[in-house]
Structure 1
Amino acid sequence: MTPRKYTADDEPRVAALWRSSFPDYQGYNAPEAVLRAKRLLDDYIYVIEDGGEIIATCMIGYDGHRGWLYSLAVADTRQGEGLGRRMVEFAVERLRELGCVKVNLQIRGGNEGVAEFYRSLGFATEDRISMGLQLSG
């Protein structure tokens, strides 16, 4: 199974996977809205599909120097099959092709299992403080 570009037809299946994978999403972060907004900016959304089911997703961003990895999700029933690794490797290669020199990502505090997964792929914790400003409710 190879990652492929997301299409608008994937929206309901990707949204369902994200709701399952990220149950604490805030209302302003509704999957459908995120997907539509991201497609307006660029089309760096990727999925792995098996038998009509979206089983893995990720998005990337690129600012001309650094890349970002967002919303990596693998269906609960398919975890442990190497799909997350495959998706990250695919995303990193897309960023490399764009000329990216560094890939960043954020993990919610306390999510040590996910942090260890990314460490196994060569990512390292950096001395940074992540800050945010809530613009709407």
Structure 2
Amino acid sequence: MQIRAYQAADEEAVIALWHECGLVRPWNNPRRDIARKLTEQPELFLVGTVAQTLVATAMIGFDGHRGWLYYLAVALTHRHQSYGRQLVQEAEHLLIQRGCPKLNLLVRSSNSKIIEFYQKLGYAQDEAVSLGRRLIPDQDT
């Protein structure tokens, strides 16, 4: 798998992949999420390709205090080939280059397979509660 920065031509394939992987929620418009990411650290929006086919994504951020990983996705047909691990390692590498001391990520508590995936990579559950509040609605009204 080749890892590179997201390009505008990737949008449809990225959104299709996120749908395939069950990452899209009604309250998060994927086009808006992509557009927002492209305004901040666009070089930290990664895609993985195999023979020019987009098969994986990772959206990374660093706020100067912590790094964050979102939208890690690998196509169902390309799983169990270490592509997810490769993207996580690249995210860690890019964050370390920026002086980031810790990488955080959120996983839905019902997603036991992904929790196990991250645990195998050395991640552990923090003793924290994630709170959120929608500031700009994504749903078209």
| Structure 2 Cα separation of the partners of residues 122 and 109 of structure 1 | 18
Contact 2:23 2:71 (C-alpha < 8 Å) held by counterparts: no
User: What does residue 3 of structure 1 align with?
Assistant: 3
Q: Does 1:30 align with 2:29?
A: yes
Q: Cα–Cα, structure 1 residues 36 and 62, in superposed 2: closer, same or farther, change >3 Å? A: same
Aligned pairs (5 A) from 1:1-137: 1-22=1-22, 25-26=25-26, 28-43=27-42, 44-135=44-135, 136=137, 137=139
| Structure 2 Cα separation of the partners of residues 9 and 24 of structure 1 | 19
Percent sequence identity is 39
| Aligned-pair CA distance for 1:25 | 1.3
Higher relative contact order (CA 8 A, sep 6+): 2
Contact 1:65 1:99 (C-alpha < 8 Å) held by counterparts: no
| Structure 1 Cα separation of the partners of residues 134 and 119 of structure 2 | 29
| Structure 2 Cα separation of the partners of residues 97 and 134 of structure 1 | 31
What amino acid is aligned across from residue 75 of structure 1 in structure 2?
A: A
| Structure 1 Cα separation of the partners of residues 123 and 3 of structure 2 | 21
| Aligned-pair CA distance for 1:23 | 5.3
Secondary structure in 2 matching 1:3:
strand
Contact 2:18 2:24 (C-alpha < 8 Å) held by counterparts: no
Gaps of 5+ in 2: none
| Aligned-pair CA distance for 1:51 | 2.4
What root-mean-square deviation, in Å, do the aligned CA atoms of Structure 1 and Structure 2 show?
1.3
Secondary structure in 1 matching 2:132:
coil
Structure 1 length as normaliser, TM-score?
0.93
The runs of at least 4 consecutive aligned structure 1 residues that moved more than 3 Å come to none
| Aligned-pair CA distance for 1:50 | 1.5
| Aligned-pair CA distance for 1:53 | 1.6
Structure 2 length as normaliser, TM-score?
0.91
How many residue pairs were aligned? Answer: 136
